[in-house]
Every structure is written in structure tokens, then in C-alpha cells.
Structure 1
Amino acid sequence: MNYSDIKFDCLYFKQELPCKPHKEQGVSCIDCSVYKPIQKRVLIVKLGALGDVIRTTPLMKALEEKYGTCHFTWITHSPAIIENTRAQKVIPFNGLNFSILQFSEFDIVINLDKEKEACLLATHVKAPEKFGFYMNGNQIDGYNAHAQEKILTGVDDGISQLNTKSYLEEIFNICELKFDYQEYEINLNHALVNKWNTNFNEIKEGKTIIGLNTGCGPRWKTRLWPIAYWVELAKNLREQGYFVLLLGGSQEDEQNKQIASESGAHYAGHFSLEEFIALSANVDVVVTQVSMMMHIATALQKKMVLMNNIFNKHEFELYKRGVIVEPSSSCDCFYGVTCSRERSCMKDISVEEIATNVNKLAEVTA
């Protein structure tokens, strides 16, 4: 084979390394039977937060539906979450990769972060088509009217509260794509999924698993449902014959131990993100406040009861698999990190209402 025989435009081509078909099947560029020419090279800039990275992944399928075979390069602060998805090249955001990308060429650049470093990268990378946000002098700007509208919702609470589009509808509009319920993608370790499945089969006694994700991160504590309510819900669900599994990270460890002790719910501990996703894959119905768990559950296509108070509920796309429950007294603190009331509105979401919605979703799952 000569240099001129190399198919640089093939989806499987890996620059300095042999491609996967060559290693697994022994094929050669000169007569390759799986050659797949790239129609569009796409750079996606979505740095974080981690949940936002997950809920941007449906764009990849939509881009392929519109353009054909696409090669996706994704730069992010959380590369592990989208490895083994449709993205062929997932790289961490750092100075070296920033510099390399500035000298690279793509057909399409999509930047959906309004942080200055992301906008600077989108501005300088070469591509004939760009969507999302960029730096216009010292100001952040949008490449089209949809992106500029998204900037408005970010700086004006009144406009944001009037919005009736989901986040996915917004970013699909920004990228001039049609949202048709393209699913989330996530890095899922199937060996770990099977491990937890075996573990649960030994203890759940054929019961439906209800996962209670009790935390929501340190920033928006106004979203928290009281621990006493979680205890009461766990007891309620166990009495109805469900296997109740407590979910959370290291920040929820102590409260989950307390809830388990007072309710009899099962708590397996806290794990790495990879293991947590595999553990969650075995749950039938998830109950959660607005959190990263909401995005993981959506990616895993789980039934979900989502508790929301401080955000615009229209933002969340549950793919017709879930229900959003809000305080009966409404909420006065739109995107608020502190509560303006003496009694948190989250206390007005009753255990009975959550349990009722769990039962409805569990019936559909059964």
C-alpha cells in the first residue's frame, strides 16, 4: 500500500494509529470493505456542568440524520461521561487541546457554553458553519437569532420564566436541527451493570426497584427535600412491596445511612461515576430533585418522578417517561440559592403525591 492509498476521510481513520477494522479484521485502506467516508467533521464545545454535557448528546444523532456520516470531536471538562458514545474523539479542555484545535479545520463548530473560554475557542477554530456562542469583541454573541434569544433568557429572569421550550428544543433551534426525541447518550459499563443486576437479584426478591436520589449538589440547596420526607417515602414504598434503593454521592453518604437506618431502605454506598451509572441502570423508577441524576436517568431511559421548585419546568425534557411535581404553594425564588421564606416550599411537596406518582409509573414499567 502506498501513501496515496490511505483513506484520510474515513470515519475509522485514526491519524497515527491503526484503525479498529484493521486491528480486528485485518483490512487495508487499499481494498477496505468497511470504508466509511465522512460527510461532516463536527467540533462540539460543551465543557460542563456534567449534566449539561449529557443532555447535549442528542445533537449527534440529529446531525447524522441531517448530514450523513459525521466525525465528532467533543471537548469537555468531563470526557469520561461520553466516551463510547457516537463521539469518535473526546478530549479534555486544557491549554494544549485549545491550541491544537485553533489550528484544526472542521465543517461545523457548535459551542453551547457561554463561558468566555468556550466562546474564544469557537471564535478561533476554522469552520464554514458555526452555531451557538462566540466572542464579538469583548462581548458574548450568538451566531444566529436563536442563540441570541438563549443569551436573553440567561440574563433576564422575566424572559426566562416566560420560556415554554425545553433545553433540547432550544439547542436544536440554535443548531438549526429538528428535535424529534433523539435520545441522550452516555458511557455505560455493561459488565458493571450485570454485576449489580446479579447482586440485586439475590436480595430484591422479584420486587420493582425504586431509586431515591436524595441529594442535589452543593450549589442549589433550595432544591432539597427534607430528610424526614425521604424516610417517610421510603417506608411508604417498602410497605407497598417495592425494593427501595437509596442513591447519591459522597455528599449524601451520611444522610443516606440515616435514611436507611430509619426506613429499612437499601443503601449500597457511594461509588465512582462509572459505577453509579451502572448501579442506576438497574433501577425501574427514579425519584429525584433536579440534579445530575435527572440527566443520568434520562440517558438510561428510566421512568422518573422529578421534583422541581426554583427552575422553569418547561426546561426539562422527560421523553414522556416521567412526571414533574412542584410545590402546591409555588416558589418565590427563581434560580435562587437561598430561600426567601421561613418555611421552604419544598416542604409543600407531599410524600403522598410522590408515592402516588411512583405507583403510576411503576404500573407502566411492570
Structure 2
Amino acid sequence: MKILIVKMSALGDVIHALPVLRYIHQLYPDAEIDWVVEDPFAPVLAGHPDLHEILTVRTKYWRTLPTMTMLGKALKFIRRLRRDHYDVVLDVQGNSKSGLFTLMSRGGKKYGFDRHQVREWPNLLATNKRVSLGEGDHHIAQRALAVARAAFPGGNDVPQAGPLHVDEAAVQRVVEQLAGHKINHPLVVFHYGTTWDTKLWNVDCWQQLAGRLIDEFGIAPVLTWGNEQERSAAEAIHEATSGRAVIWPRGTLPELVALLDQADLVVGGDTGPIHIAAAVGTSTVSLFRVTDAERNGPAGVEHRRLQSPLPCAMCLRKHCDEDDQCSRSISVDEVISAIGALLAMQKSSQAEERESYAGNH
């Protein structure tokens, strides 16, 4: 059986769709599954054991080209896409862009969201099997799984995070870097940045949190960044701790995955690194302002999701006159309490494992 998944962007959304692979694989372990994804996010799928081929597009780059050149690039990809005939196509994105490639693919059954759940109505023109969502499909990962369950009924429930492939060579490089910085466990990673300014937690709050993590737990956080704005914030946090916090060098996406896999805890907003951490099994504390923690955040006892208490939270606005107030609305006390609870839980679990090991030897 040949299956195509269309989930093109963004990083967090691609990560949220990973459980679809696990769900299909349990029913059809020999299925050939291809995935259409935007080029910047393709490395996070590379090496996944349940994927046959990753089909990468570069729509953002194509739009910078002259019209005829852009059309040539698009047509070349579409010819490649149509080279295979798929038994089932799953559009788990639901916008016009994903609909275009779903429409252009060669497949008999094309599943996607119904008119109540689709993100952009032209997507409805691409699918012939439209899936309604139930009350249990609120989380974005469950939305993707609902499409998979409609196409392939009868499978068992799967975790709503991961699995995510971790590159061994990247792990080795990260382990060497950690040793070079003399960073030991517990390893706590802070990621300040997000794609929207209205998702950001205030830099002052990050500075206070870093200081308290050092003072109260004896742990110097590792600060990751992906662009110059995030690097400037990391430097401000670093300076506020008198240089004790560690600014991590920007590396490749597989190296970021490896670092988050090695971490004991990751703290951040509604952003790709938080979802990567959950997908590799690392505990998280996630901070939500304009988006819904219950819809987007990692779930389970090993995760803590903190939502802004303001009555206008979850507004989905990218610009707001009350941004400063909202950016401080999740208190440092709440975050430090969540960190302490997870670290204590991990410490207790490790003690139980040691006792069990000693009892068996």
C-alpha cells in the first residue's frame, strides 16, 4: 500500500502530525508512506523509520522567482509528485497550499477536513473524503489522527506526540559540546523564541527565571536561539545571570533535536522546540498566551502547560496594544513551581529505578 501525507508547515505542526505515522504503521507495517513538507522542516523527518520518501517543496523561495521560473519549479515538483499512484492521500493541514498538492497527487481516496474544520475553503476542492471532528479531537495531534482513523479504521490508540527520529551522529556532536561546556544533568533548556511576538514571554521574566533556577536548584540553563532577535534575548538572559547561563551555539535542526533529546527539561512558549522535546520524550514546561494550551501543548504527567490568566487569552492575535501586560501575565513563581515539580518527579523516578535495579542484582 502506498500512502501520501500532506503536512507542509510549520515546524510545530509537522511534529504534531508524527503520531499519524505510528498509527498507520501498526495497521500496515509494510506500507510505503511518503510525506510532502516544506524544505526547511524536512530535516526533522529525515531518517524516520516509518517513512519511505520525503518530498520537499520550497514555496517561499519559489515566490521570490520570476513568474515563469516559479511555474517551472512548481511543475517540476508536481511531475515528481504524480510519478506515484497513492492508494490513500491524507491532507492533515487543510489550507489552500496543502490542497493544491493534494489535488495534484495521483490517488483514489483523498482524505481531509470537512467544511467546518478546514482552515481555508479551497482545500475542500482537493479531497473526496471529508472528515468531521468529534469532541475528543480538540488537540492538533488528535485532529491529524482523526483523519488517519477515518482512512484506516480499527487501529489502537497511540500517544499524541512522536516518535521523532534522533540522529546518532548529531547526538555525538551534542554530547561532546555539553562536555566542553562542562554541563551536567539535570540539563534544563530555555527557548525564548516563537514565530509570533504575541506568543513571547517577557525577557524580564526569563531573566528572573534563569536566576532563580541557578539560585534555588543549582542549575544553569542552556539557552537556545534561532535568529538574531532570539540571540539578543539569550544574551540578555546570559548577562542577567552574570554569565552563568550557557548560550548554545546555533546548529542544524538534527542537532537541536539531539540536544532536546539529551535534556531533562525544556521550557518555552508555543514553539517548535517545545513540541520537538515532547516528541523525543523530554519533559516540558510550556507557556501559552494567545494560543490554546489544551489544543497545542504537550499533554501528560511529564508536561506542564501554563496558560495566560487574562480574560482575552487565546485571542490568536499577532498584534495587541496589551502585549506587555499579557507577556508578563504568567508569573515566574508559576513557572519555577512547575519546573520544581517535574524535577522532583524525575528524581523520585530515578531513585525507584535504582532501587529496582539493586533489588534484581
TM-score by length of structure 2 reads 0.78
> Are 2:4 and 1:47 aligned?
no
> Equivalent residue of 2:333, what SS?
helix
Change (3 A) 1:314 1:146: farther
Q: Structure 1 unaligned segments of length 5 or more: list them.
A: 1-39, 151-161
> Equivalent residue of 2:340, what SS?
helix
1:44, 1:75 within 8 Å by CA — same for their partners in 2? Answer: yes
Letter in 1 for 2:32: H
2:259 aligns with 279
CA distance in structure 1 between the aligned counterparts of 2:169 and 2:82, rounded to whole angstroms: 38
CA distance in structure 1 between the aligned counterparts of 2:227 and 2:254, rounded to whole angstroms: 14
1:76 aligns with 37
2:214 aligns with 238
Deviation at 1:281, TM superposition (A): 2.2
CA distance in structure 1 between the aligned counterparts of 2:97 and 2:114, rounded to whole angstroms: 9
Deviation at 1:269, TM superposition (A): 2.5
CA deviation string 1:147-204 (max 9, x = no partner): 5x59xxxxxxxxxxx9972112112112225542154133422222123224324555
1:243-322 alignment, distance < 5 Å: 243-251=220-228, 252-263=230-241, 264-316=244-296, 318-320=298-300, 321-322=302-303
Change (3 A) 1:348 1:167: same
> Are 2:142 and 1:169 aligned?
yes
CA distance in structure 1 between the aligned counterparts of 2:104 and 2:113, rounded to whole angstroms: 12
CA distance in structure 1 between the aligned counterparts of 2:185 and 2:123, rounded to whole angstroms: 52
CA distance in structure 1 between the aligned counterparts of 2:247 and 2:108, rounded to whole angstroms: 51
Letter in 2 for 1:244: P
1:78-93 alignment, distance < 5 Å: 78-85=41-48, 86-93=50-57
1:42, 1:109 within 8 Å by CA — same for their partners in 2? Answer: yes
Identity %: 19
Q: Structure 2 unaligned segments of length 5 or more: list them.
A: 58-73, 116-120, 348-361
Letter in 1 for 2:51: A
1:131, 1:174 within 8 Å by CA — same for their partners in 2? Answer: yes
1:163, 1:314 within 8 Å by CA — same for their partners in 2? Answer: no
CA deviation string 1:294-316 (max 9, x = no partner): 22111221100010011122213
CA deviation string 1:3-42 (max 9, x = no partner): xxxxxxxxxxxxxxxxxxxxxxxxxxxxxxxxxxxxx211
Deviation at 1:109, TM superposition (A): 0.7
CA distance in structure 1 between the aligned counterparts of 2:265 and 2:225, rounded to whole angstroms: 15
Letter in 2 for 1:146: V
1:216 aligns with 194
CA distance in structure 2 between the aligned counterparts of 1:62 and 1:230, rounded to whole angstroms: 38
1:131-170 alignment, distance < 5 Å: 131-132=111-112, 139-141=122-124, 143-144=128-129, 146=131, 165-170=138-143
Deviation at 1:279, TM superposition (A): 2.3
Letter in 2 for 1:79: A
2:192, 2:268 within 8 Å by CA — same for their partners in 1? Answer: yes
2:23 to 50, 53, 62: 62
Change (3 A) 1:111 1:183: same
CA distance in structure 2 between the aligned counterparts of 1:205 and 1:334, rounded to whole angstroms: 39
2:109, 2:128 within 8 Å by CA — same for their partners in 1? Answer: no
TM-score by length of structure 1 reads 0.77
Deviation at 1:332, TM superposition (A): 4.5
The structure number with the bigger radius of gyration is: 1
Q: Cα RMSD (Å) of the superposition? A: 2.7
Deviation at 1:340, TM superposition (A): 4.1
1:114 aligns with 94
CA distance in structure 1 between the aligned counterparts of 2:3 and 2:11, rounded to whole angstroms: 20
Change (3 A) 1:317 1:131: farther
1:80, 1:187 within 8 Å by CA — same for their partners in 2? Answer: no
CA deviation string 1:116-170 (max 9, x = no partner): 24213322433332211599xx8332644535x59xxxxxxxxxxx997211211
